[in-house]
Each structure stands twice: as structure tokens, then as C-alpha cells.
Structure 1
Amino acid sequence: MIRDTRPIPYPDRVVSTRAAIRRLSAARAISVTGSQVAMIALTFHIYEMTNSAVWVSAVFLATFAAMGILTPIGGWLGDSFDRRKVMIISDIGAAAFFAALVFADEPWMLIALAFLATAAEMPFLPASQAAIPNLAADEDLAWANGLVSQAFALGITVGPLIGGVLVGGVGASTAFGINAFSFLVSAALVWSVKGRFQERRAVGAERPPKVRFTEGLRIVWQIRLLRLIVLAEVVAYSVVGWAMVADAPLAKLFDVGAIGFAALISCWGVGMLIGSWGVGRWLGERRIEAKILLIGMLIDGVMIAFMGLSPWFVPILIVSVIGGAASGCVNVSRQTLLQRSVPDHLRSRVFAVAEVTATVSFTLGLAIAGPAIVLIGVRPSYVLSGVVFALGALILIPVLRRPIIQAPSS
């Protein structure tokens, strides 16, 4: 691939920034819905094949390991090349690997292909996160992040329900095929967005200086706000994966089957949809993202812990909605904080560092999630996950004492 040294060819303003964000959000909603369909199918199918929480843990471990290993490369691609093209190629690659899952019939083959599909997806997220401030005006930034978060929440709400029905009705292969098609639709929608995905430079203007592959890590370490956010997420996500792996055994414990298992994830998604919508519309140009981030993470921790304490299944679904709403607020405030703190030519790299550190912490927890659940039980796994998540949130307290500084443009 040859690096393009010409000025970014996108116009200074798109015809409608909100239309561009809506189209990008639609692409995200469609691909996430398909991914959730495939993940539900993959997780429940492998659990039925093996009846083992260890194999379920391996599913999550493979997908999140791919994220941890390859996200930095995705961040570098997003800062080094046309983000729109990076996102389109990423979608097409993911579609190819998910299509191959249709023909896999052994647990190890399913997990290996899931790893490769996740690897192909990796460049999309940091590129899209970095592009949003260029597609939306600053006063619309919280709204834009809220809409993209709503799209994600819609996907994880509808996707698991569709996946649960498909697994019980027509089988996992159909679910994998639907997911492959969803990525192709996402690629087409991204292609149709004509706004600028990178900061525009005037003809003849100097390019930002070349930076090292690891520059995002240096920026995160130097900026106190970014450093505390990353540290809080590392602690919070260190054992939260135990609760995710415990979802299928919890559904079996309450004898609610594939539909109940899908409902656990979908209720969290409904909450995320509500929280993202509310905070995206309300936040505007208010600079209180740090407070929302801290409070949202605390609520998340409490709700996760309660899921392990409830003797009934219906209250678990209710607190899942509440926890999901807090999670939606967390996502929007986090995105906005990071976007406003980092210049455009480094933004994908910084997003990649934030994602990979949280993912590595999450993946290490997943590596022992299966044996840990067997050892301490399903319910205590939720309680421990929630307590540690809340402790991670407390690391953000110093952020409240200093104002957030707007990043320079270059």
C-alpha cells in the first residue's frame, strides 16, 4: 500500500454533518447486530457441543486476544491512511471470515475463524472513533457519540434475540451467514459517506510530522487525564469477563435456555440505548464528561454485583437495563473526553492504546474465567466482577479536580 501524501480531498464541510453521522451510525448498528447474532450462535453452539464453561471462555479469549494483539495496528492504519478506505476494507475482510464460519463444524475451527474475523474487524473501531470529530461540529460531538453508541446498543439488543431464535430454529450456520452479509452492508454505507474522515489541510500546508508507531502510548502516559482513564479501565475490566462467561451458566441455572441467555445481553443493550440517547442529547457542550464517566462506572459495578445476589431471574433483567443505561453514559462520556483531548493525526493511535490496554486486562481475566467459575461458582463470579469494577471507577476521582483541556488541531 502506497502512502498518499496529497491533502485530504474531502470538503471543508459536508452538506449535512448529521446526515453523515446517521449513515455511519447505521453502518455500526447493522454490523454490530450481525456480530451479536454470530456471537450468540457461536457461544451457545459451542456450549451445547462441549457443555463446558472452559470452551465458552476460549471463545471470548480468542476474540478478545485478537483485539488486544491487533488493535495497535488498526490505530496506526487509521492515522496513516484514509480512514474511510480503512473502514471499508476492514468490513469486507470481516465478511469473508464470517462467511467461512458457515462451513466450520469443529469447536477449534469455529474459534480459529472467529479470531481471524475479529482481527479483520480491528481497524474499523479506532478509525471510526477518530473520524467522528471531523464529521461533526464540536457542539454536536456528544450527540454524534451518543448516536453511534445508540447504534451499538441497538445492535447488542436486537442481535442476541435474533441469534437466540436462529440457533433454536435454523442453526448457527445461518447466523454466521447473516453476519457476513451485515458487514458488506456496513461497508456500502461507509462508502456512501462523503464527509471528511481526517482533519483537512490546505493545499501546500505541511503534513503533521511523522510519528513513531508507539506514539499513542507516549501520549497516553504523558496526559494525566488519559492515563487515569486507561488505569481505571484496566482495573475495572480485569475480572468483568467472568460475568460475561457466567451468563450462559446463569441462564442454565435458572432454566431459561437460549432465549433467557439472549435476554440477559439484550436487556443490557436496551439500557445502553436509553443511556446513550439521554446523555448524547443532554450533554451538548457541557464539560462534565468526567463526572458522568465516574458515576456511570460505579453504577455498573453495583448492578453487576446485584446480578449475582438475586434469587430470581426477572430482577436480574431489570438491573441489566439499569447497568446498561449507565454503560451507555460511560461510553459517550469516554469517547468525548478522548476525542477532545487528542489532536486528529494521533487520535486513532490513542483510541487504540485505550482499547488495547482495557482489552488485555479483560482477556487476562477471561483466561481464567472458566476455571474460576467452576471453582467459586456462578453467583460469586458476578459479585466479584461488580466489586472490582466499582473499585476501578474510584481511580477517576482525581480527574474531577482539574478542567478538561481542548486538544490542539495538530
Structure 2
Amino acid sequence: MYWAGLLISNTGSQMQVWAIFWHLRVLSDDPIVVSGIGIAKFLPILLFALIGGLVADTFDRRRVVLITQTAMILIATALGLLTYFGHIQLWHMYILVAIQGIAVSFDGPSRQSMVPAIVPREDLPSAFGLQSIAADVGAVVGPALCGLVIATLGLQWIYWINAVSFLAVIIALINMGPIPSPRSLNINKTMNPFKRLNFAEIPAGIRFIMGHPIILSSMLLDFFATFFSSANTLMPFIATDVLHTDAIGYGWLSAAQSIGAVAVALFMAQANGVRKQGKLLLWGVGAFGVATAVFGLSRNYALTMLALIVVGAGDAISTVLRNTIRQLQTPDEMRGRMVSINQIFFAGGPQLGEVEAGIVASTLGTPFAIISGGIGCVLAVLFTAFRYPALRNYNGDEEVLAGAKG
């Protein structure tokens, strides 16, 4: 039921992500203004993610996610109402997206840390494969529906549909029992919630990451690869100015990455004993970069779709392997803080990359911004492969991966 809730919620969230890009394009024709939404998303995560990780390691993780999901319902509803009444302005979107970033800072660490608590250790690779499928199916259906809804009903309906979609996760969580963090079991429940938080424990999470080169290098690879290759906010410009397509065509372009991601995630969820995870991770990110460059070079709709499908496939390989490696190597009492630090890398790369892509696009053109980003991603893979041989040669937890079932 929780997996189904994630699937429904991810579909609504992906509809909103791509609707915001399109909405910003309607409000402004400046790529920098449109790409600047990445800063609005990332700054709250940078400021609050570490606190969100500490909260995940201190309180009942299910309760934290219930609160954050409710907050995101209110944000999506507000976007819909402002759009419906014709009052929406750029600053409204920036502020509401920033508030959502705060909610995500607390939602991500608790939600990711719940998985090892409800899934046996030997099934973690398959669990993360299924979680990736839920995200990727939503990312196929969501953008396609986004284009259709924009063309037929209007932008406000996307925000309202997303608000309703969060209820699927909330209902699933209500039907689950408490999922306490290890530390919460030893804390006096009558104590003031703020006094339960020991902020001195945040540096321990940083020291843990710095002391584990495989985890650290996987985070750095994720950051630099997505920093250079993130150009999703430029998709409306590619759709309208290069490929000359409409909102429905834009919706399918937006879904293309996830078509490839779903195919790979289905395979990863069924894989029985994936070996040479380090090399496979590097090859996946490398394919991501090469396909991004092809995307920038393309002037043909079909070739662009194919390139984006490969982008999604490479990203899915990377996502499943990175999540599995990190969770298997992190003790439960440290898991929330590990996820929160990863969230900074995970969000920082693409969000800052969107801004970088917008600046380059406004000065040198949209295609050049995407092509150079793909080349930068490949260079980041080569640097990581030679700088961190431990990641390159990583074969994984043999006992756990050998027992993984789909």
C-alpha cells in the first residue's frame, strides 16, 4: 500500500515539477529567471537538511513524514488558487517553492530512513529498485498528463491534482504502525520536543561521511554529474524554440527520461546478485552525460526522445546503486543524518546546475548549455574513477546482494 501511495504521489509531484517550469516560461522568457527556481529549491535544503536528518534520527519517522506531506498539500493548493484567480506572480512561485524546499528537507531523511526499518536487509536492493520504479513511473505518467492537463484544463488543475495525490501516501502511513528512530526509543517522551534534539550530533554525521570514501565519492559523483548535466528548466525552450512543438509534445519530452528509467529500474528490481557495482555506477553516469550531449546536439524530435530515454536509463542505474550502497554501509542510528547530507548533494547538483545552465543558455544559447553540460558530466566521471579507486573497484556486500529477490 505504501508503494502504491508513493506511485500516486510521485505522479502528482512530477506533474507539478514540469508545470512549474512551463508556468515560469509563460511568466518570463528569460532563461535565467526560469532557471533561478533552482536556487529557491536548493537554499532551504542547504539550510535545513542537516536539521531534518537529526529529526529523522530522533523522532518517529512516520509522524515526521505525515507532517511534511500535509504541508505540501497546502503549498500545492495555494499555487492552484493563486493561478485560478489570476494573481500568480514570479515571486509567489519562488516563495512557495522555497517553503516546499523546507518541507522536503525534513521529509526526505525520514522517508528514506523508513525503508530499511520495514524491509529485511537482504531485500534492500530490490526495495530500492521498486522505490525507483514508483518514482520513474510517476515521472513518465506525470509529465505526459501535465502537457494534456495544461492544454485542456489549465495550470491550476495540475496543482490541485498534486495536492490530492499526497493523500495516497498519508493514507498508507496512517495504516502503518509507528516507525521510531533507534534514538527515539531511549528518549523521555514527555520532554520538550526541541530539547530532544541534540544539535551537537550533526557533526557526527559529517564525520561519518568523510570517513567512508565510498559513500563520499558516490555523493560527489552525483553532485558534479547532475550539476553539469541538469537542463530540465531549459526543456520548454528546447520544445518551443528548437523542436517547435506544443504543450503535449513538451509533456512527452518531459516524460522521456523516465521511460528509460522505468525499464532499467524494473531490471534492477529483479536482478539477483548484481556485481561490480562501482564500475556499473560509473558507466551509468557516463551514459547519462553522453546522452545529454546528444540531446543538446539534436534538432530532431525522435532523436531527442531517444537521447532523453538513455539519459533516464543511466540515471536510474546510478540512483538504485547509490541508494543501496549508502544504506547498506550506514548504521540505522546514523541513517537520517547520512540521508540529509546526501540530500544536499542530491538537490544541490541539479538545482545549482539549472542556474548554471540558464546563465550559459542566456549568453551562448540553449543547445550549447546542454552539450557542454554533458561533456562536463563525462569529465566528472573520469575524475571520480581515478580519484576514488575504492568506488571504482567496489563489488558490494556480497552476502546481501546475492540474496536480493525481485
Interval of TM-score (by shorter of Structure 1 and Structure 2)? 0.7 to 0.9
1:15-58, CA deviations, whole angstroms, 9 ceiling, x for partnerless residues? Answer: xxxxxxxx332222222211121222222122112222222112
CA contact (8 A) 1:139 1:285 kept: no
Q: Alpha-carbon deviation of 1:163?
A: 1.3
Q: Alpha-carbon deviation of 1:335?
A: 0.6
Residue type of the alignment partner of 2:103: A
Residues 326/367 of structure 1: CA separation in 2 closer, same or farther (3 Å cut): closer
Q: Does 1:62 align with 2:62?
A: no
CA contact (8 A) 2:58 2:184 kept: no
Residue type of the alignment partner of 1:267: A
Residue type of the alignment partner of 1:93: A
Q: Alpha-carbon deviation of 1:246?
A: 1.9
Q: Does 1:400 align with 2:392?
A: yes
CA contact (8 A) 1:234 1:392 kept: no
Give me the TM-score of the superposition, normalised by structure 1: 0.86
1:216-258, CA deviations, whole angstroms, 9 ceiling, x for partnerless residues? Answer: 21111111111211222232122223x2222111101211122
1:319-349, CA deviations, whole angstroms, 9 ceiling, x for partnerless residues? Answer: 2112212211111111100001110011111
Residue type of the alignment partner of 2:347: T
User: Equivalents in 2 of 1:90, 1:373: separation in Å?
Assistant: 35
Give the alignment's Cα RMSD to 1 decimal.
Answer: 2.4
CA contact (8 A) 1:101 1:176 kept: yes
| Matched residue, 1:263 | 252
User: Equivalents in 2 of 1:197, 1:139: separation in Å?
Assistant: 21
User: Equivalents in 2 of 1:374, 1:56: separation in Å?
Assistant: 11
| Matched residue, 1:376 | 364
User: Equivalents in 2 of 1:231, 1:213: separation in Å?
Assistant: 20
| Matched residue, 1:84 | 62
Residues 291/191 of structure 1: CA separation in 2 closer, same or farther (3 Å cut): farther
CA contact (8 A) 1:38 1:179 kept: yes
| Matched residue, 1:158 | 141
Residues 271/89 of structure 1: CA separation in 2 closer, same or farther (3 Å cut): same
| Matched residue, 2:125 | 142
Residue type of the alignment partner of 2:304: I
User: Equivalents in 1 of 2:333, 2:38: separation in Å?
Assistant: 32
Q: What is the DSSP-based 3-state SS (H/G/I as helix, E as strand, rest coil) of the residue aligned with 1:80?
A: coil
User: Equivalents in 2 of 1:297, 1:195: separation in Å?
Assistant: 37
| Matched residue, 2:2 | 24
Residue type of the alignment partner of 2:70: I
Residue type of the alignment partner of 1:69: L
Residue type of the alignment partner of 1:192: N
Alignment of structure 1 residues 46-195 onto 2, 5 Å: 46-104=24-82, 105-194=88-177
| Matched residue, 1:17 | none
Of Structure 1 and Structure 2, which has the larger fraction of its residues in helix? 2
Residue type of the alignment partner of 2:392: L
Alignment of structure 1 residues 183-222 onto 2, 5 Å: 183-194=166-177, 196=179, 198=181, 212-222=201-211
User: Equivalents in 2 of 1:202, 1:238: separation in Å?
Assistant: 39
Q: Which moved more, 1:123-132 or 1:304-313?
A: 123-132
CA contact (8 A) 1:66 1:115 kept: yes
CA contact (8 A) 2:60 2:184 kept: no
Between the aligned residues of both structures, percent identity stands at: 25
| Matched residue, 1:291 | 279
CA contact (8 A) 1:289 1:336 kept: no
Q: Which moved more, 1:396-405 or 1:145-154?
A: 396-405
User: Equivalents in 2 of 1:308, 1:354: separation in Å?
Assistant: 28
Q: What is the DSSP-based 3-state SS (H/G/I as helix, E as strand, rest coil) of the residue aligned with 1:296?
A: helix
Aligned length: 378
| Matched residue, 2:190 | none
Residue type of the alignment partner of 1:141: L
Give me the TM-score of the superposition, normalised by structure 2: 0.86
1:375-394, CA deviations, whole angstroms, 9 ceiling, x for partnerless residues? Answer: 11111111111111122223
* Correspondence for 1:313 among 298, 301, 305: 301
